[in-house]
Amino acid sequence: MLTVGEALRSAARRYQDKTALVFGAGTMTFAEVDRRASQFAQALLQAGVRPGDRVALLLPNGLEMAVAYFGTARAGVVAVPLNTRWAPGEIAFALADAEPRLVIADGEWATALPPGAPVVTAADWVRRVDAAPADDPAVSVAETDPCVIMYTSGTTGKPKGAVRTHRSNVMVALILVTELGLSADDVGMALLPMFHVNSMWFVTLSLAIGATCVIYPHRTFHPGHVIEELNRRQVTYSMFVPSMLTFLADAAERGALDPTHLRVAMTSSAPLDEALRDRLLRLFPRAGLYDIYGSTEYGGVTVIRHRPGGAVGTVGWPVLGQRIRILDEEGRDVPPGAVGEVYVEGPTLMREYWRRPEETAAAFRDGFLTVGDMGYLDPAGRLVLVDRKQDRIIVAGENVYPTEVENVLLSHPDVALAAVVGIPDVRRGEMVVAVVVPREGATVDVAALEALCRERLADYKRPRTIAVWPELPLGPAGKVVRRVVRERWLARSGSAPGTVPPGARPD
C-alpha cells in the first residue's frame, strides 16, 4: 500500500536501530519513530479523533512535529500543518476553514488561538502520547484517502487548503528518489520550516528509503547555522533556494564549508542564473546540482541536472509519470516556444482545494491542474517558467514577467536578492519598479544595474526605478513575497498611483 504509515513501517522493519531523525542533540532510530507514530495514533483515537477528522498542528521544527506526520497518517487522520509565522488572524482563518477536531499547539501559540478552539498544548500532548499503547492501531487507510491539507503560502491572496492523498505524497518521494539517485546511505537535511510541504516531503522521502534526516534546529534561517549543520552532520543531500546557495558558495570559497560531503544539491522556487550555477559546480565538484519545479498542489513536476555550459533559465523535463500542457486563455494548446499557462497531469497532484468546489473546478481542465504559472516548452521539450499569471505586469499593453527582469538584476555580482513588481500608472496602466538587496560586504551601484537592464531588456521591461533595501520579505519557502514588496513600496514612496517615486528615471 502506498500510504505514509506503511512507508515508515516498511523502513522500520529493515533499518530498526539506524538513526532516522536528528534534531539538535536529539535523535530517534527508525524503530523509535515507528513506535512513537503508533503511540501518537493511539492518543488521537483515545481523544475521540476518528479517521477522516482533521487535526491542526501548530508546532515548531522538531522530532515531535516529524512524528506527527506519521502518527496522524497511521490513524487515518488528516494533518493540517499551520504556519507558525502567521498572525493570530491568519491562524484563525485556517482553523475556521479546516474545522479541525483537535489543535495541537506549542505553548507559545496556544494562548493566541481563537476562543473555543479545541486546543491541546504540545507539552500535554507529549504526556498523552507517552501514556498511550505502542501497538499499531490497525486503522484501515486507503491510498486515495486524504493525508494532509496543506495551506498555500498566500502569495496571491488568502491561503487555500490543498488536499493531498497518501498516494500522492508517497509518489513524490518515490519519483524524486529515482530521479536523484538517493539511497539509505545518504544523510539529508530538511532546511525549511516543517509546516511547509517541502519539509514534509523531505522527511517522508528520507525515512521511506532508510536515509537519516537532519531537521534544521533553528527557528529562523541563518547562513552560519546552516553551514555548521552541514559540516557537523556530513549532509549529502538537501534542498535550497538560490539565495541559500549563494551563502553556501561564499562559505566554501572562504573555507568555512567542507564541499566534499554534499552529493545532491536541489534548488527550487526560482531558476539559477549561469554565474551562480558555474560557481557552485566549481566549488562542489562531487555534487549533482538539480533544479526542481513543483508546488503544494502539484508535487514534483520537472527536474534538470545542471552541467557546465548547459542550459539555464529552464527547470527541465517532466519527471516520470508527469505530463505538461501549455494552454492559452481559451484552453487551447499553444505551439512550442509560445507562452501560455502551465497545466500538469500525473500521480502527485492534489485531490482538490478544501471546500472550494468552484476554485477546484477552475484549476482542473481535463485532468490537468494549473496553479497559474506561465511558461513555454523549448525545442528540447524542457519547461521554461516565465512567471505567475497573477504577477504579470502589463505596461501599455505589453506583458512583463518579473522573473525575467529579476534574473537580469541577479546576474550582477553585487546583488543577492531582487524583486520586481508593478505599480499603477495612469498613462501606461502599470510601471515596473525593482528592489535589490546587496550581497554581504558589497555596495550596489544603481547606475550599473540600470546600464545592465538597458543592455539586456526591452525598454518597456526596464525598471523605472531601482531601490536598494537591506532585506526583502520572504515566504516560508524562501521566496520573495512580491505582494508585500509592492505594499511596502507604495507605503515608503508615499506616491499616488501614476506618479513616479523619488529617484525614478524619467520617461
- Does pLDDT of 153 surpass 70? no
pLDDT at 498: 41
For position 459, what pLDDT does the model report?
A: 83
Closest CA to 432 of 404, 393, 459, 471: 393
| Residue 394: pLDDT over 90 | no
507 vs 95, higher pLDDT: 95
Interval 275-300 mean pLDDT: 94
Q: Coil, strand, or helix at residue 318?
A: strand
pLDDT digit string (tens) for 163-222? 999 999 999 999 999 999 999 999 999 998 899 888 999 999 999 999 999 999 987 778
Which numeric CATH code is attached to 392-493?
3.30.300.30
Predicted confidence (pLDDT) at residue 488 exceeds the cutoff of 50: yes
- The answer, yes or no, to whether residue 480 has pLDDT greater than 90, is no
| pLDDT average, residue stretch 340-360 | 97
Query: Which residues, in sequence order, are CB contacts of 104 under 8 Å at separation 6+?
Result: 55, 56, 57, 58, 59, 68, 119, 120, 121, 122, 125
Binning pLDDT at 50, 70 and 90, where does residue 111 land?
A: confident
Residue type, 450: E
Q: Could you report the per-residue pLDDT of 118-143, keeping only the tens digit for each?
A: 999 999 999 999 999 999 999 999 99
Q: Which residues pair with 393 in a beta bridge?
A: 400
Is residue 505 predicted with pLDDT exceeding 70?
no
CA–CA distance, 337 with 130 (Å, rounded to integer): 58
The mean pLDDT of 427-448, rounded to a whole number, is 92
Compute the C-alpha angle 222/226/230, nearest 5°. Answer: 175
The pLDDT of residue 502 is: 36
Contact 419, 472 (CB under 8 A): yes
Q: Per the confidence metrics, is the pTM higher than 0.75?
A: yes
- The count of residues in the chain is 507
Banded model confidence at residue 79, pLDDT cuts 50, 70, 90: very high
Query: What backbone torsions phi and psi does residue 167 show, to the nearest 5 degrees?
Result: -60, -45
Average pLDDT, the chain: 91
Percent share of the chain, pLDDT over 90: 74
- Percent of the residues in the chain that have a pLDDT greater than 70, as a whole number: 94
| pLDDT (0 to 100) of residue 426 | 65
Q: With both helix axes pointing from N to C terminus, report the angle between 242-253 and 274-283 in degrees, rounded to the nearest 10.
A: 40
* Residue 188: other Cβ atoms inside 10 A: 25
Q: By C-alpha distance, which of 451, 462, 444, 455 is closest to 404?
A: 462
What is the rounded average pLDDT of the residues 477-505? 68
Is there a contact between 148 and 164 (Cβ–Cβ < 8 Å)?
A: yes
Instruction: Give 425-479 as a DSSP string.
Output: ETTTEEEEEEEEEEPTT----HHHHHHHHHHHS-GGGS-SEEEE-S---B-TTS-
Grade residue 504 by pLDDT with cuts at 50, 70 and 90.
Answer: very low
| H or E element in which residue 229 lies | helix 223-233
397 has pLDDT over 80: no
Residue 86, C-alpha cell as written in the block: 502567521
The grid coordinates of residue 52 equal 477522516
Q: What is the pLDDT of residue 422?
A: 93
Report domain extents, the chain: 392-493
| Predicted confidence (pLDDT) at residue 272 exceeds the cutoff of 50 | yes
Residue 500's pLDDT is what?
43
Among 313, 314, 315, 311, residue whose Cα is nearest residue 302: 315
Quickly state the pLDDT bin for 403 (edges 50, 70, 90): confident
Mean pLDDT along residues 449-456? 93
* Residue 471 grid coordinates: 532585506
Give the 3-state DSSP-derived string for 88-121, with helices as H, strands as E and coil as C.
HHHHHHHHHHHCCCEEEECHHHHCCCCCCCCEEE
* Residue 160 pLDDT > 50: yes
Distance CA 281, CA 250 (A): 13
pLDDT for 55 beyond 70: yes
Q: Is the pLDDT of residue 339 over 70?
A: yes
Q: Measured between alpha carbons, how far is 177 from 127 in angstroms, rounded to an integer? A: 36
